[in-house]
Structure 1
Amino acid sequence: MKVIAKTRKAQGTSASRRLRRENKVPGILYGNNVAATPIEIDHKDLFYDLQKEKFHASILTMELDGADELVVLRSFQMHPYKNQCLHVDFQRIDPNADVTMRVPLHFFGEEQSPAVKIEKAFV
């Protein structure tokens, strides 16, 4: 999956509010022995990507001002009652280094399991 972001110049609470009014999400890109970079992402694209399970559990390609980087989603903050993402954190990934992350598992075929059929067990 690809995320398109721009470098953000203004920082702080009021700058973040201005971004949110423009339907942008403030964020940060850090890691891989590079200085942290404040970023902004289009809210609509990010909001729909956050609803996809693979967005949370895969290595993403971020296009930041024309250059591609490998990143993973580390955290995001949502508004308590609005469908609005308030902030997002991404971590840069070194392609030659090991990555530790949570990956969802989906089990199928429980009904055909001998334990369920014969022993009436729960899987």
Structure 2
Amino acid sequence: MAGEIPDLHAQERTGTGKGAARAARREGMVPGIVFGGDTDPLPINIPFNVLFKRLKQGRFKSTLFNLKVEGHEDVRVICRDVQRDVVKDLPTHLDLMRLRRTTKINLFINVDFQNEEDCPAIRKGGVLTTIRSEVELIVTAGDIPETLVVDLSKLENIGDTITFSDIDLPEGAKPVISDRDFVICNVSAPSALKSDTDEDEDEVAADEVPTTDAAEGEEGSDES
């Protein structure tokens, strides 16, 4: 089941139409509409500062919210559109869609890296590098996984990786990107070890370069 779904607080808007929307904006609110499900559309207002902060956090349209409006039951919603001012690029209206438990939606699910202390590759001195801390999945609204679990104890050697195909997906979930197997994390060599390796390679390369005397000797032998 889903983990903690963030709340989104709104007020019911008593008036409708352009006049009521303009009045809401003058009061520092962003008008919106909640639609879908088996009930009538609900006009709402959301404080501008609250919505603006959410938008700055990113992925607003792919986040599931628990909408709380006084006088109404809480309902799960997802944003379907945010209209913006063409000049200032600030939000002026938003559309929220109610979700049934069977509705399929795209959501970013966090990756939980477990058993780091039991990872053989890390015990050998390797360093865990996280490539993706979350993955976008197509999930059912009524059965959203809290996290995707990655078992790091499977990584035996430095240089080993875990890809998306190594993760056991919850029932009913599938990746948005299905045509490639991307890397979730890997265990790399420590930076100090990398530096030593690079220096050794430089020394080997330097040994392979002939000295000036040797080069001159070779040129002299060609002339004779």
Q: TM-score, normalised by structure 2?
A: 0.44
Task: Tell me, yes or no, if structure 1 residue 68 matches structure 2 residue 94.
Answer: no
The one of the two structures with greater contact order (alpha-carbon pairs below 8 A, sep at least 6) is 1
- Between Structure 1 and Structure 2, how many residues are aligned? 109
**1:20: Cα distance to partner?**
0.3
1:89 maps to: 95
**1:98: Cα distance to partner?**
2.9
CA offset digits 1:48-72 (Å, max 9, x no partner):
1012224321211110115321000
* Percentage identity across paired residues of the two chains: 28
Read off the aligned partner of 2:55 and give its amino acid letter: L
Task: Tell me, yes or no, if structure 1 residue 28 matches structure 2 residue 33.
Answer: yes
Change in Cα spacing, 1:108 to 1:49, as seen in structure 2 (3 Å) is farther
Distance 1:8 1:51 in 2: 25
Task: Tell me, yes or no, if structure 1 residue 44 matches structure 2 residue 49.
Answer: yes
Distance 2:18 2:35 in 1: 20
Structure showing greater radius of gyration is 2
**1:102: Cα distance to partner?**
6.7
Aligned-partner SS, 1:70: strand
Change in Cα spacing, 1:23 to 1:83, as seen in structure 2 (3 Å) is farther
Read off the aligned partner of 2:79 and give its amino acid letter: L
Q: Which runs of 5+ in 1 are unaligned?
A: 113-123
Read off the aligned partner of 2:67 and give its amino acid letter: M
Q: Which runs of 5+ in 2 are unaligned?
A: 1-5, 109-134, 137-181, 188-224
